[in-house]
Amino acid sequence: MDPSPIREITILPGRNRHGEPERFDAITIRSGDTISIVGPTGSGKSAFINDIEVFARNDTATGRTVLVNGEYPPEEFVRDPAHKPVALITQNTRCLADLAVAEFLSMHVRSRRIADDGLVERTIALANEFTGEEIRSGARMTALSGGQTRSLLVADAVLIAAAPVLLLDEVENAGIFKERVIEVLRAGGKAVVFVTHDPLVSLLSARRIVMRDGAVERVIEPLDRENEALREALRLDGILRRMREQIRAGDLITGPVGA
Ligand SMILES: Nc1ncnc2c1ncn2[C@@H]1O[C@H](COP(=O)(O)OP(=O)(O)OP(=O)(O)O)[C@@H](O)[C@H]1O
């Protein structure tokens, strides 16, 4: 029998790097939530999402505990990839299967016993909404670029694994359209937690967790107080995106850039 659906994931405080207790009560993640984890290098951002990925029970370096629907999660959530409700995608996520993209996805569809003929094509189409470099169904998985691989794995996590919670560890640096990813995840009722150094991703998230010294230092919910900053970040991101494309295409960038 399938474990009951996830309503919420709760993170209970642990300790900072010096063994002192963290000063938050509990952080709850629900469907549709967008959360960014920010803070200096080495402040414990990845450790925070790794605690969620492994459903920590005071058994990791941070001493945090992660509950599902207010209880310790069932064993399948932790051990069985087919039931795991959390998908973690990092910059280092690589695919070792030497298969064509469509074969790889079909294998995943079959292993989950999903009867849906168009699912593989829809997954590739969704991945192509996330990346500017088109992924073709016949391409080898091992030949995809970093941005293509992560776009495909996000699309796979959304449509085939159907994970309700996505943890994305600094995936934005490598050729992914972050706005589109956030839009799709939000519309699909996913909860998404980003570890990020990118101001736009942080501003697009509804909540921001600030890490320092291995601990959660603050949880910020800006509501609409950052709307102006968000508008500006979107404008600047658009300029940078166009420049990146022109540079990649070998063009010389002349004339006004702010249009
Ligand atoms: N509360 C803690 N107690 C003890 N060790 C911790 C704690 N939090 C994080 N660490 C350890 O500190 C190191 C750095 O943490 P982490 O990789 O999570 O930082 P980060 O903010 O993701 O850094 P970067 O921005 O460079 O990716 C890791 O080895 C991690 O296991």
- Does the CB atom of residue 47 touch ligand 1 within 6 A? yes
Confidence of residue 119 (pLDDT cuts 50, 70, 90): very high
**ipTM score:** 0.97
Ligand 1 centroid to 173 CA: how many Å? 20
pLDDT of 67-103, one tens digit each? 999 999 988 888 887 788 899 988 877 777 789 999 9
Q: Assign domain 8-222 to a CATH class.
A: alpha beta
CA–CA distance from 126 to each of 132, 134, 171, 192, 199 (Å)? 12, 11, 16, 17, 24
Whether the predicted pLDDT of 24 surpasses 50:
yes
47: CA distance to ligand 1 center in Å? 5
75-79: long-range contacts, CB 8 A cutoff, minimum separation 24: 76/3, 77/3, 78/54
Ligand 1 site, residue 63, Cβ cutoff 6 A = no
Domain borders along the chain are: 8-222, 225-259
- Give 218's contacts (C-beta < 8 A, 6+ positions apart): 209, 210
Q: Give helix 119-130 / helix 178-187 axis angle, nearest 10°.
A: 140
For residue 130, report the distance from its CA to the centre of ligand 1, in Å. Answer: 29
- Cα–Cα distances in angstroms (integers) from residue 155 to residues 97, 123, 144, 215, in the given order: 17, 6, 15, 31
Any atom of ligand 1 within 6 Å of the Cβ of 212: no
Q: Is the pLDDT assigned to residue 51 strictly greater than 80?
A: yes
The answer to whether the CB of 42 is under 6 A from ligand 1 is yes
Residue scoring higher pLDDT (27 or 147): 27
CA distance 229 to 219: 19
Question: How far away, in angstroms, is 75 Cα from ligand 1 center?
Answer: 26
| Distance (Å, whole) CA 4 – CA 74 | 9
**Rounded mean pLDDT of 59-63?**
97
**Pocket lining: 17 vs ligand 1, CB cutoff 6 Å:** yes
Average pLDDT value over all residues in the chain: 90
Contact 32, 91 (CB under 8 A): no
The model's pTM is 0.91
Minimum CA distance residue for ligand 1 atom 3: 17
> Per residue in 151-186, pLDDT tens?
999 999 999 988 899 999 988 765 677 788 888 988
Which pLDDT value is given to residue 1? Answer: 42
- Cα–Cα distance, 58 to 79 (Å, whole number): 17
